[in-house]
Amino acid sequence: MPNHSTRFPNETKEYRDSRNELLAAEANLRKQIEETAALRRKLPLGGKLKENYTFEELGSDGKIKEIKFSDLFEKGKDSLILYSFMFDPGWETPCTSCNSILDGLNGATPHIQNRVNFAVIAKAPIDKVKEWGAGRNWNRLRLLSSGKNTYNSDYHGENEKKEQMPALNVFRKTDDGIFHSYCTELLFIPPEKGQDARHVDMIWPIWNMFDMTPEGRGEKWYPRHSYE
């Protein structure tokens, strides 16, 4: 069992014994996370990109412009992460859970984009998506609309009923073309008893913060657009 000499004021032997047991579990989890990441890195390329989709983006001049999937790759960056943002064209507001994820990723985006390409895809019209993003102070996220293509249905940002679904997909550009590399497929298998799918936990830090507290995640709490 891993151990160390660091102690905190007034802690008891009972606390330290239990904490050391937890420490062993945490060390094992850290190892498992890296082992899983290594398997992810070793994946062979998936299928070739179905088509060079055309997305809509709002330019700095406020005008809508079209951008091809292939143009989302900057020079020297061969990986592209796309997050499917649940925002149906008929909804007044987007998914509260996706919203909370993107609140966090907005701040992290400069760090992410320093190494890989990253964008957010929603089916709602681009002016509607950008208006919502402006209200959330999303000043770093690259927001695109897939309202005029089949990206969402092809890469499981929506189901067969056209219901919007949360998904993170990774694509890889090679000399032979653009290929699908990874999707958060935990969404598609039954969760463990008492758990949600947790397929995007790694990019959703609020749950990890709650996991460090005695209250844990709780059973009824979910993010909202506002807590006022």
Band (98; pLDDT cuts 50, 70, 90): very high
Cβ neighbours around 32 below 10 Å, total: 10
Kindly state the percentage of the chain with pLDDT values over 90: 91
User: Is pLDDT above 80 for 5?
Assistant: yes
Give the 3-state secondary structure of 208-226: HHHHCCCCCCCCCCCCCCC
User: Is pLDDT above 80 for 56?
Assistant: yes
Note the CATH number of domain 54-183.
Answer: 3.40.30.10
- Report d(CA 169, CA 142) in Å as an integer: 15
pLDDT of 199-210, one tens digit each?
A: 999 999 999 999
User: Is pLDDT above 90 for 76?
Assistant: yes
Residue 207 structure tokens: 């749950």
- Report d(CA 93, CA 129) in Å as an integer: 9
Residue 106 structure tokens: 């907005």
Q: What Cα–Cα distance (Å) separates residue 42 from each residue in 90, 174, 199?
A: 40, 16, 19
Q: What is the pLDDT of residue 41?
A: 97
User: Is pLDDT above 90 for 192?
Assistant: no
Mean of the pLDDT values across residues 42-52?
A: 98
- Report d(CA 86, CA 51) in Å as an integer: 22
CB 132 within 8 A of CB 96: no
Q: In what order do the strands lie in the sheet with 177-183?
A: 64-68, 54-58, 143-145, 117-122, 79-85, 167-174, 177-183
Band (194; pLDDT cuts 50, 70, 90): confident
